[in-house]
A and B are shown apart, each in its own frame.
Chain A
Amino acid sequence: MCKDCGCETAGHVHDHEHPHGHAHAPAERRTIALERKVLSQNDARAEANRVWLKTKGVVAINLISSPGSGKTYLLERTLERLNGRVPCGVITGDQYTDHDARRLQGKGAVVRQIETLSSCHLDAERVGQLLPEVVGEGVKLLFIENVGNLVCPSAFDLGESFKVALLSTTEGEDKPVKYPALFSLAPVVVLTKMDLMPHVDWNLGKCREYLRRIHPGVFIFELSAKTGAGMEAWIEYLEKLVE
């Protein structure tokens, strides 16, 4: 092999400088038609996750929202209420730390943390690796708490049964039209921190309208995980899902 340019042509002599990249052997250009999804690898893994979960009779929810909307707080209160009634598993994702996993411990569910480090969303591969650990014998409901982000997670199928979007009263009520990708794909929306509504200029009616325009037929829960208002309807819904 030519040690300068790596070609394998026998008898090739280097007695002069020549630029790298010149072809020693004839090459042919071909166009390969693919019509393949860009995210086919993630999608394939997601589908494998989906089949695995379905076979075990598990309902998996992909919880997506901005950072600070109250996903973890809602999960804490939800797990407490479901403890002893519905066996749950939780996979929670953040760029760094296991703070959320720690908060969710001791409430009757198997909890695992994914630290994505640089990634702004969970992906099917990472979630798939944890499924056997988190979804033990008898687990009926799996919560996947995605990385706080209203944009990227909606594009990465994890194999969930459906997506649930969270929106808090401390965020603009027009978020649904600003982030149509997520809200048009989530059949269920939970409006959180309703106890703060009197203290912020937030229009509930407008929010409901935006949500329905972006996603006709969307199921909206309005609650405060802190005061407990509206939590009963949410818990009842979850229990019915796994009946």
Chain B
Amino acid sequence: MHELSIAMSLVEQMEKVARDQKARTVPRITLTVGVLSGVDPEALKGAFPLAAEDTIAAGAELVVELVEARVRCRDCGTLSKPEAPFLYCADCRGFNVEVEAGRELYIKSMDIDVEV
């Protein structure tokens, strides 16, 4: 996954929220990143300062909350953690599964500083 592109999208969103909230700075952004999202949290943390340079996000802390993969088997009903890179039920080894967790790539929250 191209983490720099992702980081740039993050900064764009931070700038928009800052404008909407009339914030002076955005010191922290918290992400929810699933292990199946294709995003490498470390690479993203490395790319973020580059994307944030000279923007309102410069110097912001990037916090990543990792979410494990979970699949719900449509055959046996079990919710289990699949063994990467395959998505099969850890219980009955069936492939008829629904991914319930692990594909997330969300901005959970942002901390902003506003003048009072």
Interface range on chain B (Cβ under 8 Å from partner): 35 or more
Question: In chain A, what residue has the closest Cβ to B23?
Answer: A30
> Which residues of chain A are within 8 angstroms of B96 by Cβ–Cβ distance?
216
The answer to whether A38 touches B114, judged by C-beta atoms less than 8 angstroms apart, is no
> Which residues of chain B are within 8 angstroms of A34 by Cβ–Cβ distance?
17, 106-110
Distance, CA A178 to CA B84, complexed state (A):
10
Distance, CA A34 to CA B38, complexed state (A):
21
Tell yes or no: A151 within 8 A of B by CB: yes
Known interface pairs A34-B17, A34-B109; 9 further A-B residue pairs with C-beta atoms within 8 A, sorted by A's residue number: A27-B115, A29-B112, A30-B112, A34-B106, A38-B9, A151-B38, A155-B38, A213-B88, A213-B95
The minimal Cβ–Cβ distance linking B14 to chain A, given in whole angstroms, is: 10
Segment from A39-47, A51-59, A194-202, A229-237 that makes contact with B: A39-47
Question: What is the interface of chain B mostly: helix, strand, loop, or mixed?
Answer: mixed
Question: In chain B, what residue has the closest Cβ to A183?
Answer: B85
Question: In chain B, what residue has the closest Cβ to A180?
Answer: B85
Interface residues of B (CB under 8 A from A): 1-2, 5-6, 9-10, 12-13, 17, 21, 24, 27, 31, 36-38, 84-88, 95-96, 105-116
The answer to whether B110 touches A184, judged by C-beta atoms less than 8 angstroms apart, is no
Distance, CA A38 to CA B104, complexed state (A):
9
Question: In chain A, what residue has the closest Cβ to B105?
Answer: A38
Tell yes or no: A119 within 8 A of B by CB: yes
Question: What is the interface of chain A mostly: helix, strand, loop, or mixed?
Answer: mixed
Tell yes or no: A82 within 8 A of B by CB: no
The minimal Cβ–Cβ distance linking A40 to chain B, given in whole angstroms, is: 7
Interface residues of A (CB under 8 A from B): 25-42, 119-121, 151-152, 154-155, 177-178, 180-181, 184, 213-214, 216
> Which residues of chain A are within 8 angstroms of B111 by Cβ–Cβ distance?
29-32
The minimal Cβ–Cβ distance linking A37 to chain B, given in whole angstroms, is: 6
The answer to whether A40 touches B86, judged by C-beta atoms less than 8 angstroms apart, is no
Question: In chain B, what residue has the closest Cβ to A26?
Answer: B116
Distance, CA A42 to CA B2, complexed state (A):
14
Residue of B6, B17, B88, B109 near A39 (CB, 8 A) is B6
